[in-house]
Structure 1
Amino acid sequence: MSFLIEVNNKKLEAQEGELLLETLNRNGIKVPTLCHLKNSLPSGACRMCVVENKKSGKLITACSHPSEQGMNILTHSPRVIESRKTIVELLLSNHPDDCLYCVRNRNCELQTLADELQVRERKIRGKKNNYNIDRSSASIVRDPDKCILCGRCVRVCQDMMGVTAIDFINRGSCSVIGTSFNRGLNTSSCVNCGQCIMVCPTGALSEKNHFGEIQDALANPEKTVVIQYAPAISVSIAEEFNMEAGKDLNGILNSALRKIGFDRIFDTTFSADLTIMEESAELIDRITTGGVMPLITSCCPAWIKYAEEFYPELIPNISSCKSPQQMLGAVIKSYWAESEGIKPENIYSVSIMPCTAKKFEAQREEMTQHGITDVDAVITTRELADFIRMMGVDMHHIEPEQADSPHGFMSSAGKLFGASGGVMEAAIRTAYFKITGKELAELKIPEVRGFIGRKEAKVKIGELEIGVAVVNGLANATKLLDEIKAGRNDIHFIEIMACPGGCINGGGQHIG
């Protein structure tokens, strides 16, 4: 049911059950927020979204107050603007004055609000915190001095990921967000997914940077520097350069990486195809020989860490395949090194991933053979964009090129890995061909596609009927895994991706 409310002396249509902030945004009225998270319960903690209720004379939070029939609201009255400005001034009173050196410079919500609200001088001087920067994690850097206690990271870690690695500590002016006993992030249950970075409005959370090591390798004449990039990268990098969102820049990216100085450019979609072949064979083998069921995918390192932390009893269910990143890393330093006559120790292998957990995965002890790591450095989509700018490559004025052979070839199935359901669909296609000797009549499997947090389907492959499930967002995985532990046995194959929607919304993607 719809009804009318009055906003800034004009009638607007509101929907029953809609929050005031949603009504205003839908009608083209921008109200600033800092603590608000879409698809999450409102908290109203930051008070940035206050609007003036003309009937009561009170300031109310638009993010947590429902739209009500007969409302009369002012969204940008002098009183409202002054209230928002005061909040920003208070937040800045103890905030570090190092915007020029901050990883979020020019892409910081606090900085943007200060600019929009015309905060041009420091009126309030608060006591600086001087907390230690936490660099203990292989993936994520925490700088508590830049934290404004909005609580977004806490909520995304608890509600979306089901991990609760961080929470509020202490009370009042002593409050801080940290881990249990306020120790390093590496001692916590953190799965390195990076979703906290994606929602952080400031530079309090960022990915660990590997630029220095990569530059040293590029400048070393004794090193052959090889780079691979995930399927999601070529379709997400465009946003960083103000190009059409979702445009596939595969060829342009190859050209840019060559101009930077990488000796070989490979596409991780190649090893995604290898993963499909291995995982589909493993699925068929487990079904036909009575192996441990259900089979669960192993592509997502955040999911693997989550399983180790919370579901160690299900580790035998997880596929024995390495992730595509690690699989190609191993191939580069074994098969490719031998075919090119290059010693593995003289190869510096870099990967570009939409995921911060890949940084953690690359440095795992299991990913090192005879003292040589499969992958030496991992950079995210954001870091790639910064690296391209730093190296002076103009993405708008270069011609597309092919990736290097033989690890630049790919199938359409491998390209699906970037989205939730992609691994499942690719594996089912391949398993179908292996069992029946025929291609699927319809390559698309709509039941496993889309951004819904949990999807289930029954798939007919020859005489076999296979129950499959696709989950994105680890909190959704928890419910399904608990059902499996309780004895549910009609699911044979499960795809789990930690990030909502899959790798395309990974913790290393574009912020903005």
Structure 2
Amino acid sequence: MNFPIEVNNKTITARKGETILDALERNGIKVPTLCHMPGLYPTGSCRMCVVEVEGKSNLITACSYPVEEWMKIKTHSPRVVNARKTNVELLLSNHPDDCLFCERNGNCELQKFAEDLNVRERRFPGKKNKYKADPSGSSIVRDPAKCILCGRCVRTCDEIVGAVTLGFIGRGNKTIIGPPFNKQINLSSCITCGQCVMACPTGALHEKRHSSDLQNALHNPDLHVVLQYSPTVTVSVGEEFGLKAGKDMTGILNAALRKTGFDKVFDSSFGADLYITELAAEVEQRLKTGENIPVFSSDCPAWVKYTEQWYPEILPNLSACKSPQQMLGSVISSYYTDLFHINPDNLYTVSAMPCTAKKFEAQREQMTHKGITDVDAVLTTRELAQFIRLNGIDIEQIENELADNPFHVRSSAGRLLSVSGGVTEALIRTLHYRLTGKDMTQPKISELRNGREYKEVKMKIGDFKLGFAAVSTVRQAARLIGEIKAGRNDLHFIEVMACPGGCVNGGGQPIACDTGAIRARIKTVYEIDEKDPIRFAHKNPAVLELYRDFLGEPMGARSVELLHTSYKKREVPL
């Protein structure tokens, strides 16, 4: 049901049941918010979205108040603007004055509102927060001195992701946000997905940077430095340079990264093809033996950590395959160094990922071989863009180049791993070949592209009637695990990604993104798949060559040694 309301002396159309903020935004009227985020239950706690409503003595929070027929609203009256300005000034009164050194300088919502509201003097001198930063985690740094208590990280971790790591601690002006009992983040149940970083409007949460280590490595003449980049990064990094969301930057990245000094640049889509090839062989083996079914995917390190912490009883069901990042890192430190006569001790491998959890994964003790780590440093998409700018590279003046041998060929199936449902779709393509000896005539699986948090498809492949599911967020995964424990047995493979929508919305992606940008990235991934001449991981000639010349066969002795890993139960102290 639609009805008219009056906003700033003009009539607009509102819908029954929506909030004032929804109606305003749908009609192109901007109102500032700090505590509000799409997908989260509105609280109105920050009071930034207040508006004046005729007949109401107090200002009303637009994010939580429903529209009513013939409401008369003022969104930017002197009273409203003064209230918003006062709120920002009060937040700034105890906020650290180190904007120039802050991780979010130039991309901070509090800083932006101070600019928009013309805050030019300090009317409310306050006692500055003296809380110390917590750098104990492998992926995320928590800096409570910069926290404005908006609660977005708490609700994202709880309502969207389902990890429930953060909460409010203390009372009154002593309130802070952190893990239980305000312990270090490395002692908490944090799965390092980074969605809290994406939600934070200030610099209170940010990734642990590896840029300085990388810079030192590049200037060490004794080191051979290589980089692999995720296919997800190629469709999102352009946004950091003001380019259109979803623009594929693969060729530009190859050229730009060579100019920064890397000896070799690889596309980890190759690693994704390797992962799918190995995973399909593993799933086939389990289907034929009937052991440890359903198989859970293992390419999301946040999901793996969540399983180790909360569901150790299903660890045997987790695929033993390393993630694409770690697989490619492993073959770089073995096959690549042998091929080009490089001392593995002098190799320094960097990966650029859309994910903060990849930093945790690279440091897992299982991700080494003969004392050599698979990956030495991990950059998020944000760090990668900053690193390119640091080195003075103008991406608009660069011509496309190809990735380096011997990992320069990839299939579009490998790129599908960027989106929720993509692992499953790529797996089905290769599993179909392994079980029938034939490629699918129609590799696109529409049921896995519906954009929902839970996707399911049933199909007959060869002699097997199989059920596949793909979920994003561990909250959805926990629900599905509950069903399986209750007796559900019609699923044979389950893909889990911790971030909503998959890696395209990972915790290391550009901060200032919206659902439109995420949809644009997904659209590009699917368009690449439709046009690519190689749409099956098992058809990648470079992967076939790697198996022929070095690994042997999928699930063979050397493949298991280099491409597989193990898991362990993790005790959660808090």
Could you tell me the TM-score, scaled by structure 1's length? 0.99
SS in 2 for 1:81: helix
Structure 1 residue aligned with 2:199 = 199
TM-fit CA distance, 1:9: 1.1
Residue of structure 1 equivalent to 2:54? 54
Map of 1:145 onto structure 2 = 145
Residue in structure 2 matched with residue 435 of structure 1 by the alignment: 435
Deviation at 1:460, TM superposition (A): 2.0
Q: Secondary structure at the match of 2:469?
A: strand
The answer on whether the counterparts of 2:39 and 2:160 sit within 8 Å (CA) in structure 1 is no
Deviations 1:361-390 (CA, angstroms, capped at 9, x unpaired): 001111122332110000000000000000
SS of 2:68 mapped into structure 1: coil
Q: Is the 8 A contact 1:3 1:14 kept in 2?
A: yes
SS in 2 for 1:487: coil
Deviation, 1:132, is 0.9
Aligned twin of 2:524: none
Residue 497 of structure 1 corresponds to: 497
Q: Quick check: 1:126 aligned with 2:126?
A: yes
What one-letter code is carried by the residue in structure 1 that aligns with 2:127? K
- In the alignment, the residues of structure 1 paired with residue 277 and residue 78 of structure 2 have an alpha-carbon distance, to the nearest angstrom, of 64
1:68: Cα distance to partner? Answer: 0.9
The offset of 1:451, in angstroms, is: 2.4
Corresponding residue for 1:295? 295
CA deviations over 1:412-444 (Å, ceiling 9, x no partner): 100111011111000000011111122112111
| Aligned equivalent of 2:484 | 484
Question: Is 1:375 the equivalent of 2:375?
Answer: yes
Take 2:445 and 2:457, find their aligned partners in 1: how far apart are those partners? 10
- The one-letter code matched in structure 2 to 1:438 is K
Instruction: Within 5 Å, give how 1:361-510 maps onto structure 2.
Output: 361-510=361-510
Q: CA deviation at 1:346?
A: 0.4
Task: Return the alpha-carbon distance in structure 2 between the equivalents of residues 343 and 192 of structure 1.
Answer: 33
Q: Which amino acid aligns with 1:41?
A: Y
Q: Please tell me the residue identity of whatever aligns with 2:211.
A: F
Q: Any conservation in 1 of the 2:381–2:510 contact (CA below 8 Å)?
A: yes
Give the aligned partner of residue 177 of structure 1: 177
Shift of 1:129: 1.9
Per the alignment, in what secondary structure is the counterpart of residue 209 of structure 1? Answer: coil
Shift of 1:280: 0.8
| 3-state SS of paired residue (1:470) | strand
Q: Which residue of 2 aligns with 1:91?
A: 91
The answer on whether the counterparts of 2:467 and 2:491 sit within 8 Å (CA) in structure 1 is yes
Q: Secondary structure at the match of 1:315?
A: helix
The alpha carbon displacement at 1:166 in A equals: 1.1
Alignment partner, residue 6 of structure 2: 6
Match of 1:359 in 2: 359
Give per-residue Cα distances to partners, 1:23-58, cap 9 Å, x unaligned.
000001000000001011101100100000112232
- The answer to whether residue 266 in structure 2 is matched with residue 266 in structure 1 is yes
The equivalent of 2:100 in structure 1 is 100
Cα distance, 1:462 vs structure 2: 2.2
Structure 1 residue 485 displacement after superposition? 1.6
Give the Å deviation of 1:409. 1.0
Q: Following TM superposition, by how much is the alpha carbon of 1:408 offset from its aligned partner in structure 2, in angstroms?
A: 1.8
User: Which letter maps to 1:241?
Assistant: F
Question: 2: distance between equivalents of 1:102 and 1:58?
Answer: 36
**d(CA) in 2 for partners of 1:435, 1:457:** 18
Cα deviation digits, residues 8-29 of structure 1 (max 9, x gap): 1111100111111000000010
**8 Å contact kept, 1:451–1:500:** no
Distance 2:453 2:386 in 1: 32
- Structure 1 window deviating more from structure 2 (434-443 vs 324-333): it is 434-443
Please give the secondary structure, in 1, of the residue aligned with 2:496. strand
Equivalent residues of 2:420, 2:471 under 8 A apart = yes
Instruction: List per-residue Cα deviations over 1:195-230 (Å, max 9, x = no partner).
Output: 000010001111001111111111111100010011
Structure 1 contact 234–250 (Cα < 8 Å) conserved? yes
Give the corresponding residue for 1:280: 280
The answer to whether residue 241 in structure 2 is matched with residue 241 in structure 1 is: yes
1:40 aligned residue: 40
**Is it true that 1:226 corresponds to 2:233 in the alignment?**
no
The one-letter amino acid of 1:15's match is R
User: Shift of the alpha carbon at 1:463?
Assistant: 2.9
Q: Distance in 2 between the 1:376 and 1:175 partners?
A: 38
Asked if the contact 1:301/1:358 (under 8 Å) is kept, the reply is yes
The AA in structure 2 aligned to 1:330 is S
Q: CA deviation at 1:123?
A: 0.6
Q: Corresponding residue for 2:155?
A: 155
Q: Give the TM-score normalised by the residue count of structure 2.
A: 0.88
Q: Which residue of 1 aligns with 2:545?
A: none
Give percent identity, aligned residues only. Answer: 59
Structure 1 residue 353: Cα displacement: 0.3
SS in 2 for 1:366: coil
Equivalent-residue separation in structure 1 for 2:453 and 2:155 (angstroms) = 17
Deviation at 1:503, TM superposition (A): 0.4
Which whole-Å deviations, capped at 9, do the CAs of 1:304-361 have from their partners, x for residues lacking one?
A: 0010111111111000100000001110111111111111110000000000000000
Q: 2:212 maps to what in 1?
A: 212
Q: Indicate the RMSD between aligned Cα atoms, in angstroms.
A: 0.8
Q: State how far apart, in whole Å, the 1-side matches of 2:100 and 2:154 are.
A: 27
SS at match of 2:366: helix
SS of aligned partner of 1:100? helix
456-465 or 32-41, which moves further after superposition? 456-465
**Unaligned 5+ residue runs, structure 1?**
none
C-alpha separation in 1, matches of 2:129 and 2:26:
39
Q: Secondary structure at the match of 1:275?
A: helix
> Match of 1:45, as an amino acid?
S
Aligned length: 512
Match of 2:350, SS? strand
User: How far, CA to CA, are the matches of 1:402 and 1:450 in structure 2?
Assistant: 32
Partners of 1:322 and 1:227 lie apart in 2 by: 18
SS state of the match for residue 365, structure 1?
coil
CA-to-aligned-CA distance 1:274-302 (integer Å, 9 cap, x gap): 11111111111111111111000000000
2:505 corresponds to which letter in structure 1? N
Amino acid at match of 1:219: H
Aligned AA (1:47): R
- Find the residue that maps to 1:417 and give its secondary structure: helix
SS in 1 for 2:231: coil
> Which AA in structure 1 matches 2:70?
G
Q: For residues 459 and 283 of structure 2, what CA distance do their matches in structure 1 show? A: 13
Contact 1:421 1:450 in 2 (8 A): no
* Aligned residue identity for 1:294: P
Aligned partner of residue 85 in structure 1, secondary structure: helix
- Structure 2 residue runs of 5 or longer lacking an equivalent are 513-574
**Separation in 2, partners of 1:31, 1:416:** 37
